[in-house]
Amino acid sequence: MSRARVARRIAAAAAVGGGGISLLGGAAVGLVLAEVRLARRVVGGSGDVPPRADGRYGSAFARPGAEPPLRLVLAGDSTAAGQGVHRAGQTPGALLASGLAAVAERPVRLVTVAQPGAQSDDLPRQVELVLESGTAPPDVAVIMIGANDVTHRMPLATSVRLLADAVRQLRAAGVEVVVGTCPDLGSVEPVYQPLRWLARRLSRQLAAAQTIAVVEAGGRTVSLGDLLGPEFEARPRELFGPDNYHPSAEGYATAAMAVLPTMCAALGMWPLADERPDARRGEGFLPVAQAAAEAAGTGGTEVTAARDTAAGPRGRWALVKRRRRRPLEQEREDVAASGGGGGDGGNTGATATGGDAADAADRSA
């Protein structure tokens, strides 16, 4: 069965509250469980508390009478929280807040509700924190979730339903939502076959199903699977952290640079010329399930609901964007030149070695 059809089945089961879809026969279960036990001995994850990155970024853009800071929320699991790095400026939240401040030329207030170890069943609690804090809803929320659902064998349909519910709640409150879909767990170096094959298959099927559900709930997705797959496999010592599971500072920067253009576009702050699909980059309109399947296999691919297009015989349609990804060094130079350094203390927050938020003079938790 094609990835698009499986993804659509999972999303459909999620919509009606169904359970998971079995991918393994009984004969394979024993071998896979043995591999799981071996992998857990080698890859235990990190018990470190992620550095605190909450606060204000881009104070250079604060001027008398200017618009108030944009509000950015990071929700999800340890990847969204930035587990595995030691400086606040290296976390995805700090990188995205610095980048958004540079693009918008406006300060950004970052709040992180992501929880290391979280599965999708923690999203209701996180959304409640975002929407019932007594303050106005944020302008945009970035969610990264799914890896722990796979490793803890949560039924895929349940995982997708919980994510879709969270997106709908946020969108109903007027929050733009960008979801970084489930990363490719088959790229974790110490994991061997056949678990590596199964982890990759489950990760990509979940990512595709997440895309369908998020787009239909009014959000946008960015595929992290393939982005953090071949690149991580080719450069594991650079892009994985010391625990061989979470990204390194360089790995988080790679992911953040993939999410940043979509986040800016959701807020209407990306160049209009880049919003038109470019056939030379493989962009265009596809049925949602097909778009989701393609995105799951191509890192950095954005999927969003197609505007002004009626549902056709194959269901709703989506716009597939493959936003340009420039070398990380070029991104660093551009953000530094724009004055969007994170930490509000002169450091470049959109780099893998950004300034520590704890040293930022004008941030408040």
DSSP letters spanning 223-258: --TTTTTHHHHHSHHHHB-TTSSSB-HHHHHHHHHH
What tokens appear for 315 in the block? 């269901």
Distance CA 264, CA 99 (A): 9
The DSSP letter of residue 77 is S
pLDDT at res. 47: 61
> Which among 246, 248, 338, 356 is annotated as catalytic?
246
Residue pair 143/80 in contact (Cβ under 8 Å)? The answer is: yes
Pairing of strands 284-287, 317-322: antiparallel
139 in active site: no
Please give the helix or strand (H or E) that residue 259 lies within, else none.
Answer: helix 249-266
Question: Is this prediction's pTM over 0.85?
Answer: no
Residue pair 102/58 in contact (Cβ under 8 Å)? The answer is: yes
> Which among 59, 78, 98, 120 is annotated as catalytic?
78
120 in active site: no
Residue pair 164/102 in contact (Cβ under 8 Å)? The answer is: no
22 in active site: no
Strand residue runs (E) in the chain: 55-57, 70-76, 108-112, 140-144, 176-180, 220-222, 284-287, 301-305, 317-322
> Which among 121, 243, 334, 359 is annotated as catalytic?
243
Domains of the chain: 3-16+30-41+51-342 (3.40.50.1110)
Q: What is the pLDDT along the chain (365 residues), one digit of tens a residue?
A: 566 777 777 777 777 565 554 444 444 444 444 554 455 454 445 567 889 999 999 999 988 887 899 999 999 998 899 988 889 999 999 999 999 999 999 999 999 999 998 999 999 999 999 998 678 899 999 999 998 888 788 888 999 999 999 999 999 999 999 999 988 776 655 555 666 677 778 888 899 999 999 999 999 999 987 555 444 455 544 434 444 456 777 888 888 999 999 999 999 998 877 778 888 888 999 989 888 888 887 878 999 998 755 444 445 789 999 875 554 444 445 544 444 444 443 333 332 223 333 333 333 33
Token pair 């994170």: residue: 342
Helix (H, G, I), strand (E, B) or coil at 323: coil
Token pair 């340890």: residue: 78
Token pair 């994510």: residue: 163
pLDDT at res. 74: 97
Closest CA to 104 of 339, 361, 357: 339
Helix (H, G, I), strand (E, B) or coil at 74: strand
